[in-house]
Structure 1
């Protein structure tokens, strides 16, 4: 099976640019009801994944920061606790499954290391469940 079969393409992924504001991150995550969102740099490369926890811990460490002030803080200032690893679109399924075991989604990059989408862990589980039910 090819990783592309599971790929949710970039244009369908809620992601943030590295120069987005803290407020934009909060609003995007709230709108999509996500707890984690990929971050992309100006060149299209995957930078990391920001989580609700990252945002909350950052705001907690800044008692002077008001909600109105979140539009002045760049996402690049927020420390990221998790290091979600990427998989290349040409990688084998074992590599992707190994990452999906510990990440809710796996960012996928092309040969130039540009972000091209994600594979959701739930899609892999659904595929495996379908295969198991067909065997029974």
Structure 2
């Protein structure tokens, strides 16, 4: 059996319907800034990163995009999960998201909605969606 070095996530790449609106939203919500454009056949990608380049998000727009919203029930991305230190951080994130147009709802099932915090045995989880309905999660490990 061969041994390979461990990997870490380098970046998250998402296809969006409106590149400029998504760049603004992700910049505001995750405190990442555009660092470069990546032209590609049929579209443009924009790389956003935090100051240390520890969080990098690539947003892509394709000219053939028909404007349909994302749905985790089809093949492709189900959701992207991010970690925070504890449940108190999730409570702060609820307010932070609300200031950026992500309204509180009984369930995060539409663009720009957030669910209540779910306290599970393994973690507390806050689910929310961007304007393209891409499901995002904040995950606080259970404190045992």
TM over 0.5: no
TM-score tier after normalising by the smaller chain length: under 0.3
Higher relative contact order (CA 8 A, sep 6+): 1
TM-score (norm 1): 0.25
